[in-house]
Structure 1
């Protein structure tokens, strides 16, 4: 049994014309995650930062998605090498790190995902990532199949884009629109002219630096506008956001209210 290619990493390297489309998994439900995996998304992010998902639940969700077409990305709660080691042993290979604020933090994130001599990841002989020891090439190929995504969520972090792009092992960055708006003193005002201008500038800065740059939007119109800005991979809402949007719309329709519901959320 050979180690499979990381399609998400390949997409980030190719920077193709069609941005891969994803969504967030926040419900902690393997059944819902599995269903989302067959809903037409290229990638799904298992969110351990802003959801109740713990390591056991994340593992179960990755197992549920193993038979689905969607590629898995996992967002760790923090830039913590112990947690990174554990989720990687559990099978995560595309890791998103929240709230990177310096080049040193970015460098540490990459190091946590690599076996020596390139990094500091601890070596274990038996875990799910190596198919429980049946992938004979795992140790030789693991470093090359890991994708590192760094979240830049403040104006100060976005300004570091050129320096972060020079680090070996950084595959992509991700702009958190909610946190960026807060860092600009416009908390929650993602549609504000200044925030939209900052998002567009971030996408262009990433393009100039040669980095794939992603973002999440609450609804299709937002996501399409982000694609027009030049973001190279995008996500729409979350499993819970999509569920709640449809649930509220159905209730309103039956009651004759005809309210237009937001299907997403701010992440």
Structure 2
């Protein structure tokens, strides 16, 4: 399976200390997915939590991403067994599970993503195994799809050593907005409390040998390189919606506003 080979290559890169950069989609459009699949990312996460994307759009979006050799990931709307099964049965290479605050929650996600005997996910024909055509090959892959957990709460930071000790966690991704909100400073990313939480996450992740990740939302290569220099190794870069908004802005309108300001 090409999907399995790409996941194995991603794991090998991360386990060897390398960096993986993916991107993010909030639009449920397969044409956009096809463009992003050819943009040079290792993976693209389809955002079911904050994006306006229905489950029945996933197969076409995944096909479009895979045309470009890009792994389709899903940021789950909730870290539940049903959502894990839906995303993976549609053909996701892995999941990004939101709001993981305890080791028990992390273990439950890993369990819900895996077919028996490794886990408890329901077994059946689906788009993931081409409705039975690739059943045997997918049986092996379904023992360990890619799983990243999102650390987005004060409790998640406090319980991080136990979370990262759970077998089957491939990476973590910080949810900066929710984490800042949990710390009582919504959207404030330069406060001592928030920066201390980030430093703690990087420290614990380094000790556990689990790649720490962050979402660089703005279209800023400089910011991406700066985050990598800080030690992040599993990064999302921008969002389809942000890229469109930035690229489509009328330069004449911006110039007019600058002139008015003068």
Q: Which residue of 2 aligns with 1:48?
A: 48
Tell me how far apart the structure 2 counterparts of residues 111 and 208 of structure 1 sit (CA, whole Å).
24
Q: Which moved more, 1:184-193 or 1:174-183?
A: 184-193
Normalized per residue, the structure richer in helix is: 2
Q: Which residue of 2 aligns with 1:151?
A: 150
Tell me how far apart the structure 1 counterparts of residues 259 and 207 of structure 2 sit (CA, whole Å).
45
* Closer, same or farther: CA 6–145 of 1 in aligned 2, 3 Å: farther
Q: How many pairs were matched up?
A: 257
Q: Which residue of 1 aligns with 2:109?
A: 109
Q: Which residue of 2 aligns with 1:203?
A: 202
After TM superposition, give the deviation of residue 233 of structure 1 in Å. Answer: 1.3
Equivalent positions of 1:116-135 (< 5 A) are 116-124=116-124, 126-135=125-134
1:68 and 2:71 matched: no
After TM superposition, give the deviation of residue 164 of structure 1 in Å. Answer: 1.6
Please list every run of 5 or more consecutive structure 1 residues that lacks an aligned counterpart in the other structure.
260-267
After TM superposition, give the deviation of residue 11 of structure 1 in Å. Answer: 2.4
What's the C-alpha RMSD, in Å, of the aligned pairs?
2.2
Given that residues 119 and 143 in structure 2 are in contact (C-alpha distance below 8 angstroms), is that contact kept between their aligned partners in structure 1?
Answer: no
Tell me how far apart the structure 1 counterparts of residues 157 and 12 of structure 2 sit (CA, whole Å).
20
Please list every run of 5 or more consecutive structure 2 residues that lacks an aligned counterpart in the other structure.
none
Q: Which residue of 2 aligns with 1:90?
A: 90
Tell me how far apart the structure 1 counterparts of residues 13 and 20 of structure 2 sit (CA, whole Å).
11
Q: Which residue of 2 aligns with 1:265?
A: none
- Deviation per CA, 1:174-232: give whole Å up to 9, x if none: 11111111111111012334323321321221011111121101232332222122111
Given that residues 171 and 211 in structure 1 are in contact (C-alpha distance below 8 angstroms), is that contact kept between their aligned partners in structure 2?
Answer: yes
After TM superposition, give the deviation of residue 236 of structure 1 in Å. Answer: 1.6
TM-score (norm 2): 0.89
Q: Which moved more, 1:219-228 or 1:170-179?
A: 219-228
- Deviation per CA, 1:47-72: give whole Å up to 9, x if none: 00001111111222112212012221
Tell me how far apart the structure 2 counterparts of residues 253 and 183 of structure 1 sit (CA, whole Å).
35
After TM superposition, give the deviation of residue 78 of structure 1 in Å. Answer: 0.3
After TM superposition, give the deviation of residue 111 of structure 1 in Å. Answer: 0.8
